[in-house]
Structure 1
Amino acid sequence: MEEKREPLSEMAIERKIQILRNKHMDSEVIALVKSDYEYGLTDDEIGLYLNKSYDIEQMKVLSKCLHKGVSEELLTLLKDSRMAAPKMQTALDYYEKGVPIDAIREVVQKDDTAVNMRRMFDVVLEKLNKAKEQMPQDLEYVKSLVAQMDEVVAKINHQNERYDALNKKLSEIET
């Protein structure tokens, strides 16, 4: 269920930005927060990345995640792993390409470089694509098996009818 996001008023945004300026936040961070407020992110969402332990590039990736509405599970994984921004971006890119969150978690836990993560994710994507290609073939095979089984059942039913007719004739002859 997607909620409708409405940005804060200009005055409300300016008040929040002034608080950040008073805390001597970096101008890049302030610009990111301002654009996120204008986009319609809430204080809680912005608070997820507005943490002194993240650098600006990590904050930008987390902000992108919030804009794109990624799953809470991925957001938590990226936040808690404390990996560098390029690694976070790689994980986000491959999540958007359809790599399952469990595969992302497994690769992230290996704590490898972004390039090696990309290679591992490419392998996962290749396996996923092969599985998708195989599905229609498997479906056709299953359909042909069902058709063959229907034929066999029809023949068995026909044989049963013949046996019933034969038994009836035999019982007539006996009497």
Structure 2
Amino acid sequence: MIFRVATRRDLPAVLALLADEDQVLDPATTAVGEEHERAFAAIESDARNEMLVLTDTGADGTEGSDGTVLGCLQLTYIPGLGQGGQERALVEAVRVRADRRGEGLGAELMRLAAERARGRGCALIQLTSNKRRTAAHRFYERLGFARSHEGFKLPLERP
């Protein structure tokens, strides 16, 4: 497997993972809208944001010819005055292909993300997870994440 920063070529596969976590969608049939293009360009151009992917490798250990995206996550680095002024990493949009779960890919994806955040000097990694995703909660707890806070969200109306 190869862990790397996503490129524009990965966008349909990432959107397919985010669209339905319970089944495998064909990236070739995934619509990439203008809003997705804008969001990806913003992530790509922001030094505090990274969309990361885990891809399959070919027999020679290099990225396979189709570059199958097996998992993804977004890391956002947040400066702050807490934690001794150290950054923290926010993990979002964690997904692993439904047909590849149970192989340790999610744990490897999170391990590599933590390594990346640690290398940047982050003091901690934080994430939120939808209350309905109980399997994901068990997964995060197995990795050592603690339910230390209650999260709140407020949808904002567009002007």
| TM tier, smaller | under 0.3
Higher RCO, Cα 8 Å, sep 6+ = 2
Comparing both structures, which one devotes a greater share of its residues to strand? 2
- Normalized against structure 1, the TM-score is what? 0.23
